């Protein structure tokens, strides 16, 4: 196994075992892309066999420092490469040359030698790749995970555009000739993306200025209010059911246990308390029933009623006897007229509110009757038992 193969084996195992999963871009895939780019450039840039070996070893090790973190990762990469090459008994000159090539990949560094230009271009080979958009997204995820940098789609697109146009250039003749046109294609894609985003933002601003946004707020208002009305109606019905159940039990016990014993003269003192208890329970049941009793309506409307905007089509009691064709026509007429639609919704909420007011008023009376009757019944039984002592 030659030195390049040994380097590949060492780096692949190192990154697999020690590199954090947070590095979605600076990982083995990126390193492999750089190595392949170096190979392509070496074929086209008149590089000797020894120079190619230097470049490939440097390419394999150039991002190994990420196992220690982002800060000064190039220096860490140099340390890792130097330790490996010393173990492989490479000369100090070879190690120094590899180290200088690794340091040439520092983002702000401007390459001076031919070999530095090759590895610098190879490190940014992804800029001309067909998977440029995907690669950029991986870098965006990495920056979020490692540096907590959050970019919106628009911000990230502008960041990439600025880098492609103002902060990057290819240095080798081959890259300038072959890779630059491909990079410019990706540049156009980024510009188109920014154009679409700006158009989308402009459209959203226009939408905000239109009436639709207030309409959505009004729709939400109606939906929330209707939900509250429905829940309150359900609570009222539950309270009425409780009263009905409790008083039905009281009457049932009274009829089966107390009233049959009232024929006896010795139980005459229980007649009045029992009568009070039964009257209290019966009146409570009556008011509880009244609170839940539905109101029957005609269930019909005429076309004249719809044209005059008099009918609330959201309440079933106004249309349940009408044929589907007529109801379908009426609903479509209402939906065409925004004012009629909102007026109907307002009426529906208003009449639901009236129903709730009636329910809760009757329920309050029923609870007051039940409470008062219960107190009077207890007092009457106490008096009755006192009188026979």
Q: How confident is the model over 66-84, as pLDDT tens digits?
A: 999 988 999 999 999 999 9
What number is the average pLDDT over the span 29-57? 95
Looking at mean pLDDT, say which of 118-122, 226-230, 280-284 comes out highest: 118-122
| Cα separation values, 52 from 38, 97, 277, Å | 8, 12, 106
Is the domain of 58 the same as that of 13?
Answer: yes
Q: Of 154, 184, 208, which marks where a domain is finished?
A: 208
**Sole residue written with tokens 């707020």:** 217
Is the domain of 51 the same as that of 185?
Answer: yes
Residue 80: per-residue pLDDT:
96
Residues 6+ apart with CB under 8 A from 356: 229, 232, 233, 236
Banded pLDDT at 240 (limits 50, 70, 90): confident
Of 243, 245, 275, 279, residue with least CA distance to 258? 275
Is the domain of 77 the same as that of 187?
Answer: yes
What b/e string do you get for 224-257 counting C-beta neighbours within 10 Å, with b at 16 or more? Answer: ebeeebeebbeebeebbeebbebbeebbeeeeee
Residue 225: per-residue pLDDT:
85
- Cα 84 to the center of its chain, rounded Å: 48
- Cα 262 to the center of its chain, rounded Å: 69
Backbone region of residue 113 per phi and psi (left: phi > 0; alpha: psi in -120 to 50; beta: other values): beta
Is the domain of 166 the same as that of 252?
Answer: no
Is the domain of 137 the same as that of 59?
Answer: yes
pLDDT in tens, 322-366: 888 888 888 888 888 888 888 888 888 888 888 888 888 989 998
Residue 187: per-residue pLDDT:
94
Banded pLDDT at 210 (limits 50, 70, 90): low
Is the domain of 112 the same as that of 221?
Answer: no
Residue 208: per-residue pLDDT:
66
Is the domain of 293 the same as that of 333?
Answer: yes
> Among the listed ranges 211-220, 273-282, 307-316, which one has the minimum average pLDDT value?
211-220
Residue 263: per-residue pLDDT:
67
Residue 214: per-residue pLDDT:
56
Range of the domain at 329: 212-387
pLDDT over 60 at 213, yes or no: no
Share of the chain above pLDDT 70, in %: 96
User: What is the rounded average pLDDT for all residues in the chain?
Assistant: 88
Is the domain of 41 the same as that of 118?
Answer: yes
> Among the listed ranges 47-51, 147-151, 323-327, which one has the minimum average pLDDT value?
323-327
Helix, strand, coil content of the chain in percent (nearest 5)? 80, 0, 20
| Cα separation values, 126 from 35, 36, 76, 98, 176, Å | 12, 11, 23, 22, 14
pTM (two decimals): 0.54
Is the domain of 193 the same as that of 124?
Answer: yes
The token duo for 245 is 């159940």
Rg (CA), the chain: 43
User: Which one is predicted more confidently, 270 or 37?
Assistant: 37
């Amino acid at each position: 196994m030659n030195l390049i193969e040994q380097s590949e084996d060492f780096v692949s195992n190192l990154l697999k075992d020690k590199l954090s999963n947070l590095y979605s871009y600076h990982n083995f895939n990126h390193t492999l892309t750089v190595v392949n780019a170096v190979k392509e450039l070496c074929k086209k840039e008149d590089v000797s066999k020894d120079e190619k070996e230097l470049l490939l070893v440097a390419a394999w090790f150039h991002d190994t420092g990420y196992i220690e973190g982002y800060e000064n990762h190039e220096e860490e990469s140099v340390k890792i490469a130097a330790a490996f090459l010393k173990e492989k008994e490479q000369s100090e000159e070879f190690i120094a040359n590899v180290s200088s090539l690794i340091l040439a990949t520092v983002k702000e560094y401007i390459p001076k030698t031919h070999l530095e230009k090759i590895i610098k271009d190879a490190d940014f080979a992804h800029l001309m790749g067909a998977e440029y958009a995907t690669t950029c997204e991986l870098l965006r995820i990495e920056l979020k995970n490692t540096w907590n940098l959050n970019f919106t789609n628009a911000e990230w697109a502008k960041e990439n555009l600025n880098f492609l146009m103002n902060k990057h250039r290819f240095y080798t003749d081959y890259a300038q000739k072959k890779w630059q046109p491909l990079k410019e294609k990706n540049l156009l894609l980024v510009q188109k993306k920014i154009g679409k985003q700006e158009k989308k933002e402009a459209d959203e601003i226009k939408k905000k200025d239109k009436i639709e946004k207030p309409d959505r707020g009004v729709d939400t208002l109606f939906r929330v209010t209707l939900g509250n009305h429905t829940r309150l109606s359900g609570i009222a019905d539950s309270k009425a059911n409780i009263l009905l159940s409790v008083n039905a039990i009281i009457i049932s016990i009274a009829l089966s246990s107390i009233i049959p014993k009232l024929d006896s003269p010795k139980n005459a003192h229980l007649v009045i308390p029992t009568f009070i208890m039964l009257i209290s329970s019966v009146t409570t049941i009556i008011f509880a029933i009244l609170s839940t009793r539905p109101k029957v309506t005609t269930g019909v409307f005429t076309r004249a009623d719809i044209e005059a905007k008099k009918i609330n089509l959201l309440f079933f009691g106004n249309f349940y006897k009408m044929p589907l064709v007529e109801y379908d026509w009426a609903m479509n007429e209402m939906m065409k007229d925004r004012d009629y639609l909102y007026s109907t919704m307002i009426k529906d909420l208003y009449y639901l509110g009236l129903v709730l007011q009636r329910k809760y008023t009757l329920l309050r009376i029923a609870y007051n009757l039940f409470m008062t009757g219960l107190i009077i019944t207890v007092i009457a039984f106490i008096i009755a038992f006192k009188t026979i002592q």
